[in-house]
Structure 1
Amino acid sequence: MTGTVRDAEERATARMRQLLPRLIDTQARIAALQAEQERLLAEAHRVADEWAAHTATGISRDAELPYRSVAAEVATVWRVSDRTVQRRMGTAVTLVDDYPETLASLQAGRIGRGHVRVIETAGAIIDDRRCGALSSETSSTTRRARRPPGWPPSRSVAPSGTPARP
């Protein structure tokens, strides 16, 4: 390597040592906000649940009205479709109620929203009777998680003391 290339690499490495902790922190804050958003969407769903419980007429359309109304209010301020919000409210309830450790991991920034979607999708096919046993097994596996076999070793330039991510 020539001196110029080596100097450029050293400058890039030094800059990345400063940049990576900020990127890690930003990602963790985003994940925490996403976890909070999931909790709020689950709460919005519960508002609709309570409303629907008091309007039970046996007519499907009447039972659906509270969910559509609550979703429409959220959709209006988010500028998205009410069907999108209804779907998100439903998945939020599932996450909050059925996957509390996954939500806690999202809150702590240990996983991202993509990981949550994969867990929810995989969990949807598991029989409810097995969920409790698998939940504790999955959480202990998650704590021991490492880089998958065959992945190249990380060439991290993160400063020492920066939490490593699998």
Structure 2
Amino acid sequence: MNPTRDLFDDVLEWPLSKVNPWLDRVTLGGPIEGEPFNWDVFAFTIAARAREERSPGWAHVALRIYDALAKQPPLGATEHSFMLSAMNLRAGLISELGEREGDPVLDSEPIVAWIQRLTTMSLEEASRWMALAQEDFRAIPIEKLLVMRRLKNALNTLAHALPKTQVEQKHPELVPWLQFRTRLP
């Protein structure tokens, strides 16, 4: 019998009112009572529940865990993978429930801020690299490809939520990037 596996299953059956205080008592991303705990799968499962139930409360729990994992990614994981999961959850709920400015889950501003952090090259530079890619994709340094791919993933996430937001009006600087995203690798 695996005590952390039993705890994992038990916590997934608890009501939201019991999960949040439990999270306050544990180290997110760390072991539980000295035993490994699969926080990644736990966050994914909670996020799936949030989407299925259309629950900002459960989404807030998943976002809290994703945030902790992004700050100290487990071996073999990256900050970006956890941020992408978190932002996809936000975008999915925004697209279903609509945007609520200032809401910890349903506000698009965290998605916008994330994209702005990922935009480490200009649109002109990205355009030059993509023009070069048409001649020989191997001529683009892998780190540039990675930057552009992460940005494309982020822009796709935002595009999913766009119909329910005012992002294009509040952040017109993102409109050219949103239009260019299909050309990114």
TM-score by length of 2: 0.24
- Structure number with greater Rg is 1
